[in-house]
């Protein structure tokens, strides 16, 4: 900020300092006192507008803003004119050497230069350097992380995964089983809540519901091992029939082998002959019988 002040802000600071010195030296001289007060007011007005804007540009653009100020010819011209008047202004701040024209000239130049410089700063097009942008972001992030948390942060509410855990949370057995753990939770109530704390609390609730060694599914019955059934022996396939019909080794299946014991069938009743309603045709007579 010192380099930026030398390029823009320092002339207006010198105006305020020399005007205050003139006010102190004016004593009872109304003309010098009024001229000095007007000079102080004009310098403070310029600082009120220009200094915050320079600080903002320096924070955003870094060294690029400083280079832009050095390359701007208009700002350099106003700075040179103010410096020329301030260079010998110490000769007129004493009561005996008071020159109202010098006070009016410096006040008028400050009133002319301040708005022009402010407008130039507002219209500057400056690129943000990559390293400055990253550094400023990391600075803001580190500031947020190092900021202490408010002591009024509410504690993490109890987590209930199932509806029946809400009833178990107030049961005497639950209070007796988790008494040491509740003391630890009460002692750490004022600590800032973290993911690790929430995970530990969830794990304690799970253990208090189903036991320390059973986990989340402690209420479910353990699966019974299935009884191992002996496999049914597979009978060998029958011997394929022989192609030789006179093979004595091949036995024809008997009736008992062809049909099982529980197999039974009924024979069909014989069908009676149907009598024809017409007489049968008699065979033709031989010629001997015709005679």
Q: What is the pLDDT of residues 269-280, one digit of tens each?
A: 666 655 555 555
Task: Answer yes or no: is pLDDT of 57 > 60.
Answer: yes
| Dist CA 81 CA 72 (whole Å) | 15
Among 155, 184, 215, which residue terminates a domain?
215
Q: What is the residue range of 203's domain?
A: 163-215
Same domain, 20 and 106: yes
Same domain, 102 and 39: yes
Which of 9-23, 136-150, 271-285 holds the top average pLDDT? 9-23
Flag whether pLDDT at 191 surpasses 70. Answer: no
Looking at the fold, whether 105 and 173 belong to one and the same domain comes out as no
Flag whether 151 is in a domain. Answer: no
Residues 54 and 115 in one domain: yes
Range name among 56-60, 113-117, 170-174 with the lowest pLDDT average: 170-174
* Average pLDDT value for residue range 23-29: 88
- Residue 261: the pLDDT is 58
What is the percentage of the chain residues whose pLDDT exceeds 90?
29
**Is the domain of 109 the same as that of 24?**
yes
pLDDT of amino acid 208: 65
Task: Examine the domain organization and report whether 54 and 117 are in the same domain.
Answer: yes
Examine the pLDDT at 14 and tell me if it is beyond 50: yes
Q: Among 129, 149, 180, identify where a domain stops.
A: 129
18 and 111, same domain (yes or no): yes
The answer to whether residue 72 is domain-embedded is yes
- pTM (2 decimals)? 0.46
Same domain, residue pair 60 and 179? no
* Residue 251 CB neighbours (<10 A): 8
Indicate whether 181 pLDDT > 80.
no
Return d(Cα 109, Cα 42) in angstroms, integer: 10
161 pLDDT exceeds 50? no
pLDDT at position 33: 93
Mean residue pLDDT across the chain? 72
Residue 68, in any domain of the structure? yes
Is 181 within a domain?
yes
107 and 206 fall within a common domain: no
Q: Total structural domains in the chain?
A: 2
Answer yes or no: do 125 and 174 share one domain: no
Residue 254 lies inside a defined structural domain of this protein:
no
Residues 123 and 7 reside in one and the same domain? yes
Whether 108 is in a domain gets the answer: yes
Taking residues 232-237, what's their average pLDDT?
A: 76
pLDDT for res 222 = 56
Same domain? 11 vs 117: yes
In a domain, 86, yes or no: yes
């Amino acid at each position: 900020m010192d380099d930026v002040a030398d390029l823009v802000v320092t002339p207006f600071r010198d105006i305020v300092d020399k005007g205050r010195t003139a006010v102190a030296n004016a004593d009872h001289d109304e003309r010098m006192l009024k001229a000095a007060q007007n000079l102080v007011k004009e310098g403070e007005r310029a600082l009120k507008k220009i200094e915050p804007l320079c600080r903002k540009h320096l924070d955003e653009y870094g060294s690029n803003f400083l280079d832009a100020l050095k390359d701007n010819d208009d700002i350099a011209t106003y700075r040179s004119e103010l410096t020329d008047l301030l260079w010998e202004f110490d000769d007129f701040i004493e009561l005996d050497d008071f020159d109202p024209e010098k006070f009016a000239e410096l006040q008028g130049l400050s009133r002319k230069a301040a708005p022009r410089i402010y407008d130039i700063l507002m219209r500057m097009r400056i690129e943000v350097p990559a390293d400055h942008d990253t550094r400023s972001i990391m600075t803001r992030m580190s500031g947020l992380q190092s900021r202490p948390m408010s002591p009024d942060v509410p504690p993490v509410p109890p987590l209930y995964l199932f509806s029946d855990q809400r009833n178990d949370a107030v049961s005497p057995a639950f209070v007796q089983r988790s008494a040491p753990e509740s003391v630890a939770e009460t002692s750490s109530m004022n600590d800032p809540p973290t993911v690790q704390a929430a995970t530990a609390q969830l794990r304690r609730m799970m253990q208090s519901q189903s036991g320390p060694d059973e986990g989340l599914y402690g209420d479910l019955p353990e699966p019974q091992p299935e009884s191992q059934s002996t496999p049914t022996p597979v009978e060998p396939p029958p011997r394929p029939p022989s192609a030789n019909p006179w093979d004595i080794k091949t036995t024809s299946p008997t009736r008992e082998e062809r049909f099982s014991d529980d197999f039974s069938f009924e024979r069909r009743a014989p069908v009676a002959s149907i009598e024809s309603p017409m007489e049968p045709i008699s065979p033709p007579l031989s010629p001997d019988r015709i005679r």
